[in-house]
């Protein structure tokens, strides 16, 4: 089955952890495409979340892609743990790796899709020599570490630049690269974000803090249909 043009990726950081498996199943049943898995180490970012054991525990609960966002430093030692735990996509921050090319290569060798994550003030120039190893580019539209933050408007220009880079590379090579956005994505701004170039949308509290996940995801799809 072809992937939808736009993909919605609820972040389980905002889910009810007392019934996490059920929460994962419920958002996919409600129409989400991907499970976004935020890993924070209280070192690279100021918060501590979940590790590979939790990924391994939810893997049997869904056939959906699990998109693991590593906010940890150093990053190389933990990549194999998440590949073994059932991750499909593993992304990391270039500042967290001593050798970005090597870290991307490690993810690919372990059979996962690989991606780079850019904080609001991190330049896209890290992409200059590694586009051949990147399957996803994730732009943070908040400073990482906590859920429920407001979208940083300057990210829209950065999205446009990332989209330009991807389109130029795809035109040259035929390679597909997804462009994901994470932070402050809501029903009322998702269309504007899509117009700037994003095709994959992480939403945590905007989905999990609502009483009806399907109604919220349907509302997001309705907004995306206007793009």
38 flagged as catalytic: yes
Which of these is catalytic: 33, 38, 67, 199?
38
Whether residue 182 lies in the annotated active site: yes
The whole-number pLDDT of residue 4 equals 52
- Per residue in 112-160, pLDDT (tens digit) is 999 999 999 999 999 999 999 999 999 999 998 777 788 999 999 999 9
- Mean of the per-residue pLDDT values for the chain? 95
Residue of 33, 67, 135, 182 with catalytic role = 182
Low-confidence stretches of the chain (pLDDT beneath 70): 1-4
CA 54 – CA 193 distance, rounded (Å) = 30
Distance between CA atoms of residues 137 and 142, nearest Å: 15
Positive or negative CA dihedral for 134, 208, 49, 190? positive
At 3 the pLDDT is 42
């Amino acid at each position: 089955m072809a992937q939808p043009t736009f993909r919605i990726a609820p972040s389980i950081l905002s889910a009810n952890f007392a019934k996490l498996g059920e929460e994962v199943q419920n958002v996919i049943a409600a129409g989400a495409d991907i499970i976004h898995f935020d890993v924070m180490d209280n070192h690279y970012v100021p918060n501590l979340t979940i590790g590979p054991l939790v990924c391994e525990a939810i893997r049997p609960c869904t056939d959906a892609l699990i998109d693991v966002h590593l906010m940890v430093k150093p990053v190389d030692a933990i990549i194999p743990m998440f590949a073994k735990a059932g991750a499909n996509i593993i992304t990391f921050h270039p500042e967290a790796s001593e050798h970005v090319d090597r870290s991307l290569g490690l993810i690919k060798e372990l059979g996962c899709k690989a991606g780079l994550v850019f904080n609001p003030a991190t330049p896209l120039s890290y992409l200059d020599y590694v586009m051949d190893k990147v399957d996803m580019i994730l732009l943070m539209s908040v400073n990482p570490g906590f859920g429920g933050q407001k979208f940083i408007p300057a990210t829209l220009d950065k999205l446009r630049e990332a989209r330009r880079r991807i389109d130029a590379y795809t035109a040259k090579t035929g390679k597909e690269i997804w462009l994901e956005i994470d932070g402050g994505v809501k029903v009322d701004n998702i269309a504007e974000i899509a117009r700037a170039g994003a095709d994959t949308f992480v939403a945590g509290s905007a989905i999990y803090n609502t009483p009806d996940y399907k109604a919220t995801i349907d509302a997001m799809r309705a907004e995306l249909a206007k793009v």
